[in-house]
Amino acid sequence: MKNFKLFNVVALTADLPEENLLQGQVGTIVEVYNEGEAFEVEFVNVKGETYGLLTLYPEQLMLLHYEPVKIAA
């Protein structure tokens, strides 16, 4: 199970044509439902304007990392 948390930055794992969103688009988790069964994800443009706000499931998301992850040798 993926451990997504509030304010994690995530990317879509598949296109959502009905929402005009493509695989790889980046959003932020702004609400966690039922202990991680679903998430409200906000998508914003470079001006900070919201262009998408929708409920998504863990299998639709990939957690993004901005810092190196230590791997045991």
Return the ∠ at Cα 27 (arms to 21 and 58), rounded to 5°: 85
pTM assigned to the model = 0.87
Q: List the one residue out of 16, 68, 65 whose CA is nearest residue 43.
A: 16
CATH value of 9-63 in 2.30.30, 3.30.460, 1.10.3470, 2.60.40: 2.30.30
- The residues spanned by each domain of the chain are 9-63
Contact 9, 28 (CB under 8 A): yes
State pLDDT tens for residues 12-67.
999 999 999 999 999 999 999 999 999 999 999 999 999 999 999 999 999 998 77
Query: Which residue is associated with the tokens 């409920």?
Result: 55
Is residue 1's pLDDT more than 50? no
